[in-house]
Structure 1
Amino acid sequence: MTARETMLPRLVELDGGAKAGRLDGLVGIGEALAAVLMLVGPGAGGLSVALLGVSSATLLITATTSLGAALVTFGISAAAGAVNPEGSNATENNKVKKVFADLWSGWRFLLSNRLILGASILTAVFVPVIAGLQATVLPAYFIAQGLPELSGFAVTGIALGSLLGASVYAATIARTSPRRWFIFGAIGTGIGFGILGTLGAPWLVIVAAVLIGIANSPMSAVLGVATIRATPDAMRGRVLGAQNALMLAAPALTAAPIAVIAQAFGLNAAGACIAIAVAITTVAAIFTPAFRDLDAHAGGPSGGPSDAPSDTMEAPRQGEN
């Protein structure tokens, strides 16, 4: 995942990169495709189980699709994966030391850059909250309502909303301010979680899930593009690796507390806690100085000055983050 994100600016440049908003559009398309897969994937998996049963044939289909994805990567130009040769002459004795030095430099840059740190924290809040909803709160809520089959519709609603939001973002970002998309996403996500947190009527929960998907996907795309552009080419893999590590660790740290609150105080209390946490986060994000200059990262032929690879690119100074 980190390698795929790291290659995006290089792919835009190799494809010409002359049109404004190319990188933004590519990230938006990626968000839309992810939403499509969230809709199609579980259905295709369920159909294969229904037709073939829980058997080795079903697992063979999974293995075949994974192999197909790996083979497709051979179609990517090798130039897209070119990296800064800095440190490539490391000897056998200091290679391990170099790995830890690279790891530390990625985290150090992430922690010192206010924009990237803010985007990482925001993502680390929303990803586990949505994961907790899908894995704990929503299934328990619909079971309590005697409508367990609607749990899947709520998850599908998030995916459907993400598809719609990401598609509109990709189609309009060349003519729309990223800052406006960010504000729309933050406010919409906060409202969606506020409605969903009440755990009212089942239809209202599903509508809130769709709204969350519509608002959150453009905001995620804006933050993803801003992170790519704010990171020098030579540092991008290390910084995105640190950011993805934080994002993947966050659900493991928050799933248990959400479940404990639901068990001890009830589903409504868990939903209210989630809604309050998201509301505080979105309000803070809107007024955080680091996110006021998102439009400053939206220039350049392929989307911004740091879209084009540059091994000599200077890291943003603290006052320019």
Structure 2
Amino acid sequence: MIKTKYGPLYLIFFAALTAGAGNGISLVAFPWLVLQRNGSAVEASIVAMAGTLPLLVATLIAGAAVDYLGRRVVSMISDLLSALSVAAVPVIALVFGVDAINVAVLAGLAALGAFFDPAGMTARETMLPEAAQRAGWTLDRSNSAYEAIFNLSYIVGPGIGGLLIATVGGIDTMWVTAGAFVLSIAAIAVLRLEGAGTPNRDELPQVWAGIVEGLKFVWHNRVLRTLAVVDLTATGLYMPMESVLFPKYFTDKDQPAQLGWVLMSLAIGGVIGALGYAVLSKYTARRTVMLVALLVLGVAMTVIAFLPPLPVILVLSAIVGLVYGPIAPIYNYVMQTQAPPHLRGRVVGVMGSLAYAAGPLGLIVAGPLADTAGLHVTFLALSIPMLVLGLAALFLPALRELDRA
């Protein structure tokens, strides 16, 4: 059991790294398994949507589960179920043959994995304030480090995923994914932290009433409500680029390693941006950081839409990650400071579920549009609204509350 001053914080960081790496490998492996069959972006979108649709409901339930069952237990159960869902891919291939790994099977397993993941992420995020307090870290510093490590997992994950696909194939790559989730379970199993154990359920409302309470809290809090809408829109526009358009582009070129490099560039930029925010937060207003991030995202995605050479895509992907890196620490800070401890899990769950709500809509549009009009048009269809979102954010008064004490 880890009871040192920094132990709980480092264990949460390690769990975020390993679980995130597992998801990062899946980010490459699932679309690759689909696209190598017939190169259909529509089928890749189906699998991507299967991995996104459950998030809307699952994240709401995850927040309530964290508040009712306890943060530590929920984190371990979530990672265990996620490990089983990805390990099922090679198990099915061994028992029934490779042909059994079709789009329906992959979509089903992606949906199962997506249903379990939010609970683990929510549980780890809700443990951060107490772990930071024990370590003597500020919330801005701990959130920046957490998001940087989470982004680091998307350097390790896609990089390993691309290399493994090129060497052992997409199916056997899933064994490594399962192993990453097991490491996360081991880290949380030895963690002991105030507020991470079983809560007093007598002081909590029923589960459904608790979810409604979380929804009402977010709706009546102006800054949380505005951030939820902004994140919902940005996620819906950005997600298809990472989960369908880039995999489609590099599958057509038969370059799995290059797909891994692009996703790694996104993550490297995210690590630098998240870590840099710990310093930047001392000198720059949170609203300024948010506005710059949204505007630069739109510009960078618009340039990527013209499908420039790989080095240019890598640089632009790193820029996208760089400006997006500080956004998650800002969101975490607002949730942690606005929500009371007994509501923290549900508020994180509500915010997460709203962020995922637009993802399926973007994927529904992106897949068929990529097959019919081409990648260039599809990229533009996503990047131009992102530019509009950045301009609209300049006039949102609620974002001024990001810097209110």
Pairing 1:10–2:130 present: yes
Of Structure 1 and Structure 2, the greater helix share is in: 2
Matched residue, 1:173? 281
**Structure 2 residue matching 1:287: 3-state secondary structure:** coil
Query: One-letter code of the match for 2:239?
Result: A
Distance 1:230 1:110 in 2: 9
Secondary structure, in 3 states, of the residue corresponding to 2:180?
helix
Cα–Cα, structure 1 residues 125 and 175, in superposed 2: closer, same or farther, change >3 Å? Answer: same
Cα separation, partners in 2 of 1:145 and 1:204, compared to 1, 3 Å: farther
Contact 1:186 1:286 in 2 (8 A): no
Report the AA paired with residue 192 of structure 2: S
Query: Does the alignment pair 1:79 with 2:194?
Result: yes
Larger radius of gyration: 1
Q: Give the whole-Å Cα distance in 2 for the aligned partners of 1:111 and 1:34.
A: 28
- 2:44 corresponds to: none
Distance in 1 (alpha carbons) for counterparts of 2:133 and 2:346: 21
- CA offset at residue 146 of structure 1? 8.1
Go from structure 1 to structure 2 and tell me whether the alpha carbon gap of 1:260 and 1:185 turns closer, same or farther (over 3 Å shift): same
Q: Do the aligned partners of residues 84 and 286 (structure 1) sit closer, same or farther apart at CA in structure 2, a change above 3 Å counting?
A: farther
Note the aligned Cα RMSD (angstroms): 2.9
Tell me how far apart the structure 2 counterparts of residues 84 and 174 of structure 1 sit (CA, whole Å): 35
* TM-score, with length taken from structure 1: 0.77
TM-aligned CA distance change 1:153 to 1:48, over 3 Å: closer
3-state SS, counterpart of residue 167 of structure 1: helix
Q: 1:152 to 1:165 in 2, by over 3 A?
A: same
In structure 2, the partner of 1:131 is: 239
Q: Deviations over 1:232-271 (max 9, x none)?
A: 2222111111122233443233212111222333322211
Query: Shift of the alpha carbon at 1:291?
Result: 0.6
Q: 1:39 aligns with which of 155, 162, 167?
A: 155
Between 178-187 and 58-67, report the one with greater CA deviation: 58-67
Alignment of 1:147-296 (within 5 A): 150-296=258-404
Q: Distance in 2 between matches of 1:54 and 1:213?
A: 26
Cα distance change, pair 12–83 in 1 and its aligned pair in 2 (3 A): farther
Q: Is the 8 A contact 2:159 2:257 kept in 1?
A: no
Higher relative contact order (CA 8 A, sep 6+): 1
Task: Give the Cα separation in 1 of the matches to 2:225 and 2:235.
Answer: 15
Q: Match of 2:202, as an amino acid?
A: S
Q: Is the 8 A contact 1:157 1:207 kept in 2?
A: yes
Task: Tell me the distance in 1 between the aligned counterparts of 2:161 and 2:259.
Answer: 17
Instruction: From 139, 142, 145, give the equivalent of 1:23.
Output: 139
Count of residues in Structure 1 that have an aligned counterpart in Structure 2:
285
The match for 2:202 is 88
Structure 1 residue 272, shift from structure 2 partner: 1.3
Aligned-residue offset at 1:179: 2.6
Q: CA deviation at 1:51?
A: 6.9
Instruction: Quote the offset at 1:42 in angstroms.
Output: 2.9
CA distance in 1, matches of 2:338, 2:344: 9
Q: 1:203 and 1:113, CA in 2 relative to 1: closer, same or farther beyond 3 A?
A: same
Whether the aligned pair in 2 keeps the contact of 1:83 and 1:234 (CA below 8 Å) is no
Shift of 1:71: 2.1
Could you say if the C-alpha distance between residues 263 and 231 of structure 1 is closer, same or farther in structure 2, counting changes exceeding 3 Å? same
Unaligned runs of 5+ in 2: 1-120
Aligned-partner Cα distance in 2 for 1:179–1:136: 31
Aligned counterpart, 1:70:
185
Deviation at 1:218, TM superposition (A): 1.0
- Report deviation, 1:200: 3.9
Task: Provide the secondary structure at the position in 2 that maps to 1:81.
Answer: coil
The aligned amino acid for 2:321 is: G
SS in 2 for 1:176: coil
Q: TM-score, normalised by structure 2?
A: 0.62
Q: Residue 188 of structure 1 contacts residue 216 of structure 1 at CA under 8 Å; is this kept in 2? A: no
Moved more, 144-153 or 38-47: 144-153
- Are 2:297 and 2:323, in contact at CA under 8 Å, matched by a contact in 1? yes
Per-residue Cα deviation, 1:73-110 (whole angstroms, up to 9, x for no partner): 1343331326874x5168xxxx8xx1110011111222
Residue deviations 1:194-237 (CA, integer Å, cap 9, x gap): 32233344443332211111101112321221222122222211
Structure 1 residue 44: Cα displacement: 3.1
What is the CA–CA distance in structure 2 between the aligned matches of 1:62 and 1:198, rounded to whole Å? 33
